[in-house]
């Protein structure tokens, strides 16, 4: 039987508890989850993509069926390259849905074999975002 591999893409600058929760819950649904760290030259991240990959690898070390890789370019090409069948996306609020839905439709058009799975966060993590984590950190919280 073919392994069910899901890809969870993002900038993860930084990875926070909401991301980790989604990864851990998705590991119960898939044989393997690939955390795909986006290398986006248009953004100025707090951490380099290499640093983010290393931090996430350390954090996810207890989970042997989770691997972490950098990527750039089309997400569906990366999903195909790693043998994935599904893109995981977290939805914290209705406001996330419109953008994520448009991306899912475009990905489906580019590669009909790639599905998108939207996952709601646990209630404790609905307010958490990387931007908020960085703002609180820089304000001394």
Active-site residue, 43 included: yes
Which residue in the list 19, 26, 49, 89 is annotated as catalytic?
A: 19
Which residue in the list 16, 70, 92, 108 is annotated as catalytic?
A: 92
Can you tell me whether residue 54 is helix, strand or coil? Answer: helix
Which residue in the list 26, 49, 89, 130 is annotated as catalytic?
A: 130
Which residue in the list 43, 81, 113, 122 is annotated as catalytic?
A: 43
Active-site residue, 89 included: no
Active-site residue, 130 included: yes
Catalytic amino acids?
19, 43, 92, 130
């Amino acid at each position: 039987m073919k392994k069910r591999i899901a890809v969870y893409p993002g900038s993860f600058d930084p990875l926070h508890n909401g991301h980790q929760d989604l990864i851990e819950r998705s590991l119960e649904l898939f044989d393997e989850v690939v955390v795909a760290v986006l290398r986006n030259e248009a953004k100025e991240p707090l951490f380099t993509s290499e640093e983010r990959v290393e931090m996430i690898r350390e954090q996810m070390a207890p989970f042997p069926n989770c691997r972490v890789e950098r990527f750039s370019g089309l997400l569906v090409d990366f999903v195909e390259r790693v043998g994935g069948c599904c893109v995981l996306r977290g939805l914290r609020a209705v406001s996330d849905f419109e953008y994520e839905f448009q991306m899912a439709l475009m990905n489906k058009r580019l590669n009909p074999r790639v599905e998108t799975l939207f996952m709601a966060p646990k209630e404790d993590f609905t307010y958490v975002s990387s931007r908020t984590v960085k703002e609180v950190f820089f304000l001394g919280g």
